Structure 1
């Protein structure tokens, strides 16, 4: 579908619509991956989940998401970002609905796997679209904008989700997310340009995987990979899962307080995403902002560990039997 500007619509407005719908879809991914943290205790209490099941409930999304990244990249090259993204979005909607109606831990975990598979294109496909539609010098800024705006989904997975779960219940909240995802997908089908087709239509899967292997041999790949693996892993494990149970079991925070505190972390991430993307121009280097951000992360994790070790003692019997925080107190 051609999105050449219609009468009365400028190219800038068309670009804004394009970025908005792509960021909105990635925001769904950010919401779903981080949504367990606030409602973990509620899930554990209602469905009698153990700490292991709760942990796997969160990680199932990431395992599925990571497992298909290389095949997804090949599919995007072969069939185009729009078609691949719309196809996987169906899995996201199905997984979200299954999660909302799940009666047990196995179905919850299966739903999270579907979510991870479905959301696997929501970041890479937009980046391909940006690379093909915009000048190269705008790519870093667009990537930063995509990640920063999409982290509104991370924000929604904190205090807003806590408020919605308190009023409507977590099941109804996820039904609403499924409906919203359908609306965004329909907007993408209308706004995003039609795929022009693969640049290598005759390339075999074996050749495609050989291309991936060649990319992995690039020396600069591995430092970036391990940096992102460790730094984002810290954020996802705290905000996306164990932050909520820790606040509840160690500090006695209720659902609303858990959401509000995690909201601060999600807000800080959005601000960081929007700022770090422009730091290379200020510092003239990628290394300095990475080192500053990584050092700050390490120091803050040390502070959290210190808070855990000196956290206020809980009165005897005050800890819920449905608690999922895997810590023993003397």
Structure 2
């Protein structure tokens, strides 16, 4: 029950995060803004989300996941209500900033609750199921919001959306407990000394850094396509129809949902090979993108389908970073470590979203119509992030394994299967 309420609250947070995706034209007309100003909504949400991960982790370690999740849900409800009645661009920007803030206060709480309520062997698969279920919120935001905007109008549509988080807040308040034995938990008081100590201890562990770089390297490609650049890339860069572009983005979400439980089973059964699985997935993403970007002319439909499937798998693969953090940190600083790791993918996504926009403008100066060649150049910026990420994963996987062997030799033998060593 606790997990069901928590994961539903997370699904609603993703719903609110994605609720603007189908309202771009309506927002442009309502606020009389340009495409660049419209893109600012997405960039600000990513920036706030990424920037708040460590503070939210510290708050969860101090006040418990229930209190922080309740606060985040209330913030989301108020932010969406503010967005509903906003009639100027600055008011709308302020509302979306608070949507990002409330969104940031949800996922870390869900992971902490999973670690408190499930056995260690079940945690990886429950975590991997949680991520894809949350992403269903992105699908749920499409058809209902499109219908609502066209039927009951902007203000009513977003007020109804806000009301869903009011219901979620009541459910969190009544039904969620931080631990089976306690309704609420409290950690050590927040002070600069305690904050520095907790963050330094979490970051010092090579397992946390390995988790950060795994999250950094696997997530940004799917996030970039799903939140902003996927539709224009397929339509302008690969000359697909708008209908097929929407189908491709839907297939990507389906791949996320299907891959999550499979990866969760693998992680639970083969803990020693978690980073190996990440490396294999990243190299697969790099290979398929290379075929797409350098295919003569437009890539065939079957190859674009392969692309969104493989890129979609990168979404739940990023969750492996959290499992690496879980086995590298005690529970009293687990949320702080999770916040650090969760910054990785969203920082990379933010860099990529901005870089693609800048490169597109530079490659198509003043034209207003981006060419396939411009998209090839812009999307190739991913190789920079993949290169950095792969090097760091390789570095810290060796450091993490050496640390485990030196400090926890029995666990090292059990995980590596080297009882003879």
* Deviations 1:15-51 (CA, angstroms, capped at 9, x unpaired): xx22211111111222233344443344335534333
- Which shifted more, 115-124 or 94-103? 94-103
| Aligned: 1:127 with 2:118 | no
* Deviations 1:165-215 (CA, angstroms, capped at 9, x unpaired): 454455544332211111112111111126433143x45342123211221
**Residues of 2 paired with 1:309 and 1:104: CA distance?**
43
Tell me what 2:211 maps to: 224
**Residues of 2 paired with 1:214 and 1:266: CA distance?**
36
Deviation at 1:133, TM superposition (A): 2.4
Deviation at 1:216, TM superposition (A): 0.9
How many residues align? The count is: 300
**Residues of 2 paired with 1:88 and 1:174: CA distance?**
17
Q: CA RMSD in A?
A: 3.1
Tell me what 1:144 maps to: 128
Report the secondary structure of 1:66's partner residue: helix
* Deviations 1:194-243 (CA, angstroms, capped at 9, x unpaired): 6433143x453421232112211112222321231233222122111222
**Residues of 2 paired with 1:205 and 1:29: CA distance?**
30
| Aligned: 1:196 with 2:238 | no
Tell me what 2:257 maps to: 270
Cα separation, partners in 2 of 1:293 and 1:37, compared to 1, 3 Å: farther
**Residues of 1 paired with 2:97 and 2:241: CA distance?**
29
Q: Which of 34, 49, 67 is equivalent to 1:83?
A: 67
Q: TM-score, normalised by structure 2?
A: 0.63
Tell me what 1:297 maps to: 285
Residue pair 1:158, 1:262 contacting (<8 A) in 2 also: no
* Deviations 1:117-152 (CA, angstroms, capped at 9, x unpaired): 111121111221222222222221221122122121
**Residues of 2 paired with 1:158 and 1:262: CA distance?**
12
Report the secondary structure of 1:151's partner residue: helix
Deviation at 1:60, TM superposition (A): 0.9
Residue pair 1:23, 1:146 contacting (<8 A) in 2 also: yes
Q: Which of 19, 23, 29 is equivalent to 2:13?
A: 29
Cα separation, partners in 2 of 1:237 and 1:291, compared to 1, 3 Å: same
Q: TM-score, normalised by structure 1?
A: 0.78
Residue pair 1:33, 1:240 contacting (<8 A) in 2 also: no
Unpaired segments ≥5 residues, structure 1: 1-16, 312-324
Cα separation, partners in 2 of 1:300 and 1:57, compared to 1, 3 Å: farther
Residue pair 2:236, 2:370 contacting (<8 A) in 1 also: no
Deviation at 1:252, TM superposition (A): 7.5
Residue pair 1:161, 1:259 contacting (<8 A) in 2 also: no
- Which shifted more, 58-67 or 96-105? 96-105
Cα separation, partners in 2 of 1:294 and 1:183, compared to 1, 3 Å: same
Cα separation, partners in 2 of 1:249 and 1:172, compared to 1, 3 Å: farther
Residue pair 2:218, 2:278 contacting (<8 A) in 1 also: no
**Residues of 2 paired with 1:38 and 1:295: CA distance?**
32
Cα separation, partners in 2 of 1:29 and 1:221, compared to 1, 3 Å: same
Unpaired segments ≥5 residues, structure 2: 300-366, 373-421
**Residues of 2 paired with 1:281 and 1:86: CA distance?**
30
Report the secondary structure of 2:206's partner residue: coil
1:97-176 correspondence runs (5 A): 97-169=81-153, 171-176=155-160
Report the secondary structure of 1:136's partner residue: coil
- Looking at secondary structure, tell me which structure has more helix per residue: 2
